[in-house]
Amino acid sequence: MGVMTYGGAALEALRQAMAADPTVWCVGEDLGRGGVFGQYKGLREEFGPDRVSDAPISEAAIMAAAFGAAMVGTRPVVEMRFADFALCATDELINQIAKARFMFGGQSRAPMVIRKPMGMWRSSAAQHSQSLESWYAHIPGLVVAVPSTAQDNFSMMKAAIEADDPVVYLEHKNIWANEGEVDQAAPYQWGTARVRLKGGDVTIVSWSDCANRAEQAGRTLAAEGIGAEVIDLRSLWPWDRTAVIESAARTGRLLVAHESVAVGGFGAEVVATVVQEADLKARPRRIGAPRALIPYAPNLEDQLRVTADMIADAARELCA
Amino acid sequence: MTQPNYDRTRGLALLTMMERIRAFERQAELAATRDQLVLGAIHLSIGQEACAAGIIAALRRDDLLLSTHRGHGHTLAKGADPTAMMEELLGRAGGCCGGKGGSMHIADFGVGMLGANGVVSANIPIGAGAAHGIKLLGDDRIVVDIFGDGAINRGPFLEGLNWAAVFGLPVLFVCEDNEWSATTRTSDMTAGEGAAARAKSFGIRTEVVDGNDVEAVADIARDLVAAIRRDRQPAFLHARTFRQGGHTYFDPATYRAKEEAAARIASDDPIARQREILLGAGVAEADLDRIASDAWAEMEAALAAAAAAPFPEDGSVFADVQDIGSPELEAY
Ligand SMILES: Cc1ncc(C[n+]2csc(CCOP(=O)(O)OP(=O)(O)O)c2C)c(N)n1
Ligand SMILES: [Mg+2]
């Protein structure tokens, strides 16, 4: 046990994986200096420039080359810098990496971790703030990780590097410095949610940084006597349908909250799945961003945020 | 006149491979048109056999190869089994990809063939990456990464060549230039001096070869492969050839004059040219004919076997998607 930051926990998991397995390597722009957010700090000194490789500003080639290297037996950790720039490597991820194993009849694997820091952070505007996790959840072949705590960023990074599947690993840029206790030996199983708070009145499902806001909302509600069960999905594919359906069936009320645009978001998938499986006492709700573009000015940016207050308000309405 | 020290054994081997590729392609065409057994599009490499045969003759079995939608010839030359290839074209269980990929995703990792690609240009940086992996693993294999003339106008060409040069990777890029990008003349859509000039601008050793002269292709490929294996640096080969047929087997190529293609086929067919060389070197015509008829019989048998082979089990559509969150467990 020990306290780590969200960013530091993934760094430590990566460091340990690189020490244990010489085929693990990292590639991306500016990794030699530790990465844009310090996610690779100290690794070049420890493992050298071949295994902590700088790259040209060629997102498509970073993705494609790492894929080629994965097919011959290495385990690349790919850094996209910002989730937004990963769109420059869409063909490589969606048409090549996600499909290779299937198209080639099981002859190949793409054991890759594709890191895409996402989310709203410090007035970064429309091209540096997006949350596109639902896109990746839609693509067969990909695993989608959306960790929200230091513990999970340790355990899930470790599991992602060990996985033989391509894992789209979406860290939230706003919480690199969040601290938490990390038990390095804690087991992690893909597709299992973490119940952040127990409660019997309403089920609140969230992920990534929004799960932290959902937990905050749950604590406020608890003080008012409303029992919110806050479930952090942690991964969107696979996702823990069992836990969510069980909880929603028990509380009879479901609210899903995510930072990304509500329209076509993964919240819709959660709601649709639950209403097919469980009888609810109230119509389920989802909260996400309006289908608007993320702006620069803070007051404009705030209009698109999904806050703890909004989550608490929606839960109160559901329980009224 | 053939040179006095001409290597007849190699010349015959090159001809044999070209005849096998052509016979495979003709049988695939028959499977598509006569038998209606090929369901999707296939892109034939008739007229381009010298590139596949000449380049891949320079490789070891454990060297790696990536190709394009027009990849049957390359795959066969790398050592894949023609029956498994034909089964793949027919979507059968015994296909090299279990019937899941078809012609455009043909691959045989057992012989180092890491896949054709349905996305033009995409294999260029992936091949550079395979070479990157080899560099990290520290062995002495090399990668051959073949693409068409149309591929040089997409970004992955620039990104992939730059990557290979920056990291010093053991990869031979081959632009197999058949002058056409589907129904468009590539030269009409390409600025500047084209493939070789672009490759040179990265500081990559670049050679241009008559891609219908299989001996010349084999010679330059042998040199380049040896240099890459020794120096661990990329090289580039621009091989000029000609697509004798349509873009796909069902494309009648009405956008170009019939006479143009006919004249090129008559004067510049790689198999006819190699037969001339071998006749000049004293090989009997009957021996050359036998190479062709053996190849035809081999591929006829491959098609017959494939046509009789079973389709994949329905459940295999859910296999080999992913381990974590596999649709075999998660589909609903
Ligand atoms: C990115 C992309 N754009 C378009 C296509 C459609 N397409 C398939 S083959 C082809 C022509 C490719 O020409 P070239 O690279 O010269 O290869 P060739 O067909 O001549 O072997 C096109 C446009 C594609 N497969 N991928
Ligand atoms: Mg072409």
DSSP β-bridge partners for residue B2: none
Q: H helices of B119-249, where?
A: 123-137, 155-167, 195-200, 214-231
pLDDT value at B3 more than 90: no
Ligand 2 centre distance from Cα of residue B182 (Å): 7
CB contacts < 8 A (A, B): 157
Closest to A102 (Cβ–Cβ): which among B117, B159, B320? B320
Token pair of A113 as six digits: 């971790």
Ligand 1 centre distance from Cα of residue B182 (Å): 6
Average pLDDT, chain B: 97
Pairing of strands B184-185, B180-181: antiparallel
Each residue's pLDDT tens digit, A56-106: 999 999 999 999 999 999 999 999 999 999 999 999 999 999 999 999 999
Q: What are phi and psi of B187, to 5 degrees?
A: -65, -30
Q: Which residues contact B262 (CB under 8 A, 6 or more apart)?
A: none
Q: Which ipTM did the prediction report?
A: 0.97
> Can you tell me the distance from the alpha carbon of A31 to that of A5, in angstroms, rounded to the nearest whole number?
19
Q: What is the pLDDT of residue A88?
A: 98
Q: What is the pLDDT of residue B185?
A: 97
Whether CATH 3.40.50.970 fits B8-306: yes
Token pair of A40 as six digits: 């690779």
Catalytic residue among A128, A138, A172, A258: A128
Helices B214-231 and B8-33: crossing angle in degrees, nearest 10, is 110
* Closest C-alpha to ligand 1, atom 10: B182
Residue B149 in contact with ligand 1 by CB distance below 6 A: yes
Each residue's pLDDT tens digit, A25-59: 999 999 999 999 999 999 999 999 999 999 999 99
Each residue's pLDDT tens digit, A150-199: 999 999 999 999 999 999 999 999 999 999 999 999 999 999 999 999 99
Tell me how close the Cα of B125 comes to any Cα of chain A, in angstroms: 6
Q: What are phi and psi of A78, to 5 degrees?
A: -100, 130
> Can you tell me the distance from the alpha carbon of A190 to that of A199, in angstroms, rounded to the nearest whole number?
24
Task: Give me the mean pLDDT over the B51-68 stretch.
Answer: 98
Using 50, 70 and 90 to split pLDDT, how confident is the model at B331?
low
Q: What is the pLDDT of residue B265?
A: 97
The proportion of chain B whose per-residue pLDDT surpasses 70, expressed as a percent, equals 98
First to last CA, chain B: 70
Contact state of B108 with A68 under an 8 Å Cβ cutoff: no
pTM of the prediction? Answer: 0.97
Q: Does A168 touch chain B if contact means CB atoms closer than 8 Å?
A: no
pLDDT value at B62 more than 90: yes
Atom of ligand 1 lying closest to residue A91 CA: 1
User: In whole angstroms, how far apart are CA B147 and each of A95, B159, B160?
Assistant: 17, 14, 12
> Can you tell me the distance from the alpha carbon of A223 to that of B245, in angstroms, rounded to the nearest whole number?
76
Q: What are phi and psi of B176, to 5 degrees?
A: -90, 95
**Helix or strand or coil: residue B139?**
coil
> Can you tell me the distance from the alpha carbon of A39 to that of B63, in angstroms, rounded to the nearest whole number?
35
Task: Give me the mean pLDDT over the B254-275 stretch.
Answer: 96
**Helix or strand or coil: residue B58?**
coil
Q: Does A143 touch chain B if contact means CB atoms closer than 8 Å?
A: yes
Contact state of A91 with B324 under an 8 Å Cβ cutoff: no
Task: Give me the mean pLDDT over the B114-143 stretch.
Answer: 98
Task: Give me the mean pLDDT over the B96-105 stretch.
Answer: 97
Task: Give me the mean pLDDT over the B271-292 stretch.
Answer: 98
Closest to A141 (Cβ–Cβ): which among B98, B166, B322? B322
Contact state of B162 with A58 under an 8 Å Cβ cutoff: yes
Helices B155-167 and A59-71: crossing angle in degrees, nearest 10, is 60
> Can you tell me the distance from the alpha carbon of A132 to that of A147, in angstroms, rounded to the nearest whole number?
14
Please list, residue by residue across A302-314, b when 16 or more beta carbons sit within 10 angstroms of its beta carbon and e when fewer do. eebebebeebbeb
> Can you tell me the distance from the alpha carbon of B41 to that of B104, in angstroms, rounded to the nearest whole number?
8
Q: Domain spans of chain B?
A: 8-306
Task: Give me the mean pLDDT over the A280-302 stretch.
Answer: 97
Pair B159, B132: CB distance under 8 Å: no
Q: Mind giving me the DSSP string for B216-277?
A: HHHHHHHHHHHHHHHH---EEEEEE----S-SSTT---TTS-HHHHHHHHHH--HHHHHHHH
Domains of chain A listed by start with CATH number: 2-182 (3.40.50.970), 194-319 (3.40.50.920)
Pairing of strands A113-115, A167-169: parallel
Using 50, 70 and 90 to split pLDDT, how confident is the model at B1?
low
- Least trusted range by pLDDT, from A177-191, B6-20, B316-330: B316-330
**B228 torsion bin: left (phi>0), alpha (psi -120 to 50), beta (else):** alpha
Q: What is the pLDDT of residue B332?
A: 46
Q: Which of B68, B120, B178 to mutate to test the pocket of ligand 1 (most atoms within 8 A of CB)?
A: B120
Ligand 1 centre distance from Cα of residue B120 (Å): 5
Token pair of A136 as six digits: 């990746």
Percent helix, strand, coil in chain A, to 5, is 40, 20, 40
